[in-house]
Amino acid sequence: MERTGLCSICGRASKMHTCMLCGRLVCDQCYDFVRNVCIRCSVTPTFSEKSPGQRSF
C-alpha cells in the first residue's frame, strides 16, 4: 500500500514506503526497493555478506 506523507529521513512530501525493519515511512529516494527497507537500515548489514579473508579472486 502506498500512502502520502512526510519522509522520516529527508522530510519531503512524497509517496511513502514502510521500512520492513524500523517501520518508518520514507520516500522513494530514501527507500531501498531491493531490500524493502529504508536507506538507514539498508546501510546496516543484517548479515555478513562478505567474509574478510575469503576471496573468490
Q: Which residues bind Zn ion (CB under 5 A)?
A: 7, 9-10, 19, 21-22, 27, 30, 37-38, 41
Minimum CB distance to Zn ion, residue 52 (Å) = 26
Gap between the Cα atoms of 50 and 56, Å rounded = 11
Residue number with CB closer to Zn ion (42 or 55): 42
Residue number with CB closer to Zn ion (3 or 19): 19
Which residues does 38 contact at the CB level (< 8 Å), separation at least 6?
A: 8, 9, 17, 19, 21, 22, 24, 26, 30, 31, 32
Minimum CB distance to Zn ion, residue 26 (Å) = 5
